[in-house]
């Protein structure tokens, strides 16, 4: 009776195989010489998965009943984050395989004629081979077979496949004992929201680049390269594992000597040497041939071009002798410098206070309809951005993301919604974005008056040699900070304008 029930259960399992496509699937299989065998599982969801819901089963020699099963959580693993790969290896495999493995288990004691299945809550969601079929020495797959080969899932595949007739064409086949890239997979459908979030071309050798992962997918650091002035920073030479969503990495010139810059540095690399007229490119390098489909994912400047000693023009300045901070609304990089050039706040070249601290808007939310990146011009005493000055007084509401004066942050203004409602106090409008606040008499204000629904006005005023940040209904009282204004940032997200 037990045997009959087992066969009926297996037949039911086979009946539903073609109905399932899942974003968790096998990315690699090694069936090599001796004990060199491994299987890898990739999480293509944009959220972490509970490994308690998954298991791997092996079906030897045409069996309908699992010969062996690997239960992730029984062996101590609970979650797999977006973009991560989990590798199970043969305990006796070579070091090239074991160095990339998360765990060793007998599930990998397979030959090329054994079917392997990935199950979610007891339902098969991906297979290598056909359960219940003995193909002889192995199944034909791609340009080879499952026997004495390394299989890497094709970069176009974004979900599991339970129909092996279709699955046979979803794999790239590599020579026996190929181990490169076993713990990494990056299909075309996975977004890589990794970008250069800060650039420092400071005095002397004080140079640094900050990388930000806006997520939601993790990025294997083994694949990451930063190309600067003909040299290449290889991240795997300094760090290992994955760069998770929300994480930052700062690489600096090893000859940098500013304590503030060095304190924000994760590692130094002699390849990070550049001038303001050098292009910089963030690159994901393939670990397996045929998977080179992500070249430059972000860049500063244009490779092969020389902008001259003044550097590349950017919003508010140039790349030469400057610190550039990516605007807060930017959630991904671009290989098009025409797009990137307008996405920066430009600061003086010895400003390092934000290095290692970059934050962005909630990229899961829709992009704000209007974005105004603003700065303070100490000579004019005005809040200024690019644009023409058309009369656009009215009512509007907006979010101030961050404000800094003298390098210090005003936490009371973080992520608060502000409403400007005073009659005839508005801003200049160029059809796309606000450009300047002004007073009703036609003169440009020396600041902007903000009013919270339950808080004070905030304003800036400038006098020769120093500036004041004021609060409270009387803007000439309640001084919060004073001195020469060196930094006032960051971004206003406008939600409405009437």
Domains and CATH numbers, the chain: 2-174 (2.60.40.1260), 194-348 (no CATH), 370-497 (no CATH)
Mean pLDDT of 100-114: 95
Q: How many alpha carbons lie under 13 Å from residue 326 in its C-beta half-sphere? A: 31
pLDDT digits (tens, 9 = 90+) for 389-440: 233 333 444 444 444 433 333 444 444 444 343 333 344 444 444 444 444 3
d(CA 188, CA 294): 8
The pLDDT of residue 263 is: 96
d(CA 68, CA 91): 15
Query: Which tokens go with 142?
Result: 């791609």
Tell me the percentage of the chain whose pLDDT exceeds 90.
50
The pLDDT of residue 374 is: 43
Query: Which tokens go with 273?
Result: 């040497």
This prediction's pTM: 0.73
Q: Residue 315 — pLDDT band, cuts 50, 70, 90?
A: confident
Mean pLDDT of 292-314: 84
The pLDDT of residue 233 is: 92
Lowest mean pLDDT among 46-55, 85-94, 394-403: 394-403
d(CA 311, CA 331): 25
Mean pLDDT of 356-372: 71
| Residues 156/147, Cβ–Cβ less than 8 Å | no
Mean pLDDT of 89-111: 96
Query: Which tokens go with 359?
Result: 């934050």
pLDDT digits (tens, 9 = 90+) for 125-170: 999 999 999 999 999 998 899 999 999 999 899 999 999 999 999 9
Mean pLDDT of 257-285: 93
Mean pLDDT of 184-203: 91
CA distances from 5 to 16, 58, 59, 65, 96 (A): 17, 19, 17, 11, 42
The pLDDT of residue 131 is: 96
């Amino acid at each position: 009776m037990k045997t009959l029930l087992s066969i009926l259960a297996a037949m039911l399992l086979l009946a539903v195989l073609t109905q399932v496509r899942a974003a968790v699937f096998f990315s690699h299989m090694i069936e090599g010489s001796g004990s060199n065998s491994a299987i890898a599982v990739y999480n293509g969801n944009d959220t972490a998965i509970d490994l308690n819901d998954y298991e791997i089963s092996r079906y030897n020699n045409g069996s309908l009943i699992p010969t062996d099963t690997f239960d992730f959580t029984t062996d101590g693993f609970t979650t797999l984050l977006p973009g991560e790969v989990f590798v199970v290896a043969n305990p006796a495999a070579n070091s090239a395989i074991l160095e990339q493995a998360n765990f060793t288990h007998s599930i990998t004691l397979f030959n090329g004629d054994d079917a392997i299945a990935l199950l979610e809550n007891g339902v098969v969601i991906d297979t290598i081979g056909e359960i219940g079929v003995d193909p002889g020495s192995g199944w034909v797959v791609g340009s080879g077979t499952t026997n004495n080969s390394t299989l890497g899932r094709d970069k176009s595949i974004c979900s599991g496949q339970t129909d092996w007739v279709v699955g046979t064409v979803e794999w790239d086949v590599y020579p026996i004992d190929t181990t490169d890239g076993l713990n990494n997979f990056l299909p075309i459908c996975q977004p890589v929201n990794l970008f250069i979030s800060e650039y420092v071309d400071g005095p002397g050798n004080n140079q640094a680049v900050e990388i930000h992962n806006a997520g939601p997918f993790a990025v294997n650091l083994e694949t990451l390269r930063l190309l600067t002035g003909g040299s290449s920073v290889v991240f795997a030479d300094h760090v290992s594992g994955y760069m998770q969503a929300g994480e930052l990495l700062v690489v600096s010139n090893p000859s940098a000597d500013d304590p503030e810059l060095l304190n924000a540095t994760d590692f130094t690399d002699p390849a990070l040497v550049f001038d303001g007229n050098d292009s910089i490119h963030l690159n994901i390098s393939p670990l397996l041939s045929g998977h080179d489909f992500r070249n430059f994912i972000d860049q500063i400047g244009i490779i092969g071009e020389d902008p001259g000693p003044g550097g590349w023009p950017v919003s508010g300045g140039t790349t030469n002798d400057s610190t550039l901070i990516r605007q807060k609304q930017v959630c991904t990089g671009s290989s098009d410098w025409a797009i990137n050039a307008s996405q920066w706040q430009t600061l003086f070249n010895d400003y390092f206070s934000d290095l290692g601290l970059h934050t962005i808007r909630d990229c899961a939310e829709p992009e704000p309809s209007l974005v105004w990146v603003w700065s303070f011009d100490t000579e004019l005493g005005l809040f200024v951005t690019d644009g023409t000055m058309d009369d656009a007084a009215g009512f509007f509401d907006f979010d101030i993301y961050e404000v800094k004066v003298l390098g210090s942050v005003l936490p009371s203004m973080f992520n608060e919604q502000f409403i400007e409602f005073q009659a005839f106090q508005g801003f200049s409008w160029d059809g796309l974005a606000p450009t300047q606040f002004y007073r009703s008499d036609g003169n440009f204000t020396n600041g902007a008056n903000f009013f919270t629904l339950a808080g004070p006005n905030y304003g800036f005023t400038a006098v020769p040699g120093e500036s004041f940040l004021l609060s409270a209904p009387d803007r000439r009282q309640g001084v919060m900070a004073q001195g020469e204004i060196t930094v006032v940032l960051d971004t206003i997200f406008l939600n409405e304008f009437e």
